[in-house]
Amino acid sequence: MTRPPHAADRPGLNLFVCIKQVPDSAQIRVHPVTNTIMRQGVPTIVNPYDLFALEEALRLRDEYGGSVTVLSMGPPMAEEALRRALGIGADHAVLITDRRFAGADTLATSYALASALTTLGREQPIDMVLTGKQTIDGDTAQVGPGIARRLGLEQLTYVAAIDRVDPLRREIVVRRRSEGGVQVLASRLPCLVSVVEGLNEVRRGAVADVLRAARAEVVTWSATEAGVEDPMRCGLRGSPTVVRRVFAPSPRQERAQMVAVTGKRPSQLADAVLDLVLTQQPKLEAALADGPVRRNRP
């Protein structure tokens, strides 16, 4: 792929994209006995939101010059996700992997990633960090903001479009999806942008890109190499979040029932439904008869 020349009037952008390798949620199964998530044999994919972030970074690079570095924290097999990103067109890839990272919650994850970004930033000062709005396996949407806070970056979340970037004036204008509308925000570089789905169409790398990706060495850093200062803040030990229980929601169809009720007045309909509920839940009637139904009042 031809890269735009890095001319003097185009200072270029140092773009960093944080991606995560996640199990394909469409194929996850919950173990019927232990109720734990069975990851074995479940195919992994790059978190789909992160691919939109990567594509957005590639577009910025193609327009303004500069480079795109993808970064991921994960087990050694997460290298595949990074290689995939290289095949789509990223310039560099760094995997931070260490036993001490295992079991990290969002707090510990953003600490480790921020440490690595700080280390990378010494070589190439960060202009922008891009991520997906959230992962499909954790759904927290906290890691991006965590990184921004730790690195002191302007924080632009749920971005649906990047309207303008001015690398010289260090300005950026984005459209942000918010409840009930769209906000147009002007901010400064360096910043963190987390993107929503569908803000672009992810490209397919050319033959040269996938060949380069297949041959590339993915840089692999341990916690120390990544510049983590306090290993106690990584992984399980650095994670205050405790998962108390994991369970599979029971399918709704089995509980829900289509009920044929005749009559037009609401009270008739209510009576019919109540009858049905009481027939199916005989204990309920007794419980109701025992005393007044407790309601939550403010």
What residues line the site for another protein (CB under 8 A)?
29, 31-33, 41, 43, 80, 87, 204-208, 210-211, 214-215
Shortest Å, Cβ 207 to another protein: 3
Q: Which is nearer to another protein, 78 or 108 (CB)?
A: 78
Q: Which is nearer to another protein, 80 or 154 (CB)?
A: 80
Shortest Å, Cβ 132 to another protein: 19
d(CA 229, CA 224): 8
Shortest Å, Cβ 91 to another protein: 17
Q: Which is nearer to another protein, 62 or 80 (CB)?
A: 80
Q: Which is nearer to another protein, 87 or 145 (CB)?
A: 87
Residue 137, classified by CB atoms within 10 Å of its CB into exposed (0-12), middle (13-18) or buried (19+), is: middle
Shortest Å, Cβ 29 to another protein: 7
Supply 49's token pair: 């939101």
Whether a cis peptide bond, with omega within 30° of 0, leads into 11 is: no
Q: How many residues does the chain have?
A: 298
Shortest Å, Cβ 88 to another protein: 10
Q: Which is nearer to another protein, 30 or 173 (CB)?
A: 30
Maximum C-alpha span of the chain: 83
Q: Which is nearer to another protein, 37 or 141 (CB)?
A: 37
Distance between start and end Cα atoms, the chain: 63
Residue 188, classified by CB atoms within 10 Å of its CB into exposed (0-12), middle (13-18) or buried (19+), is: exposed
Supply 215's token pair: 């041959």
Q: Which is nearer to another protein, 211 or 277 (CB)?
A: 211
* Residue found by looking up tokens 């944080």 in the block: 18
Shortest Å, Cβ 51 to another protein: 13
Shortest Å, Cβ 82 to another protein: 14
Shortest Å, Cβ 206 to another protein: 4
Q: Which is nearer to another protein, 150 or 203 (CB)?
A: 203
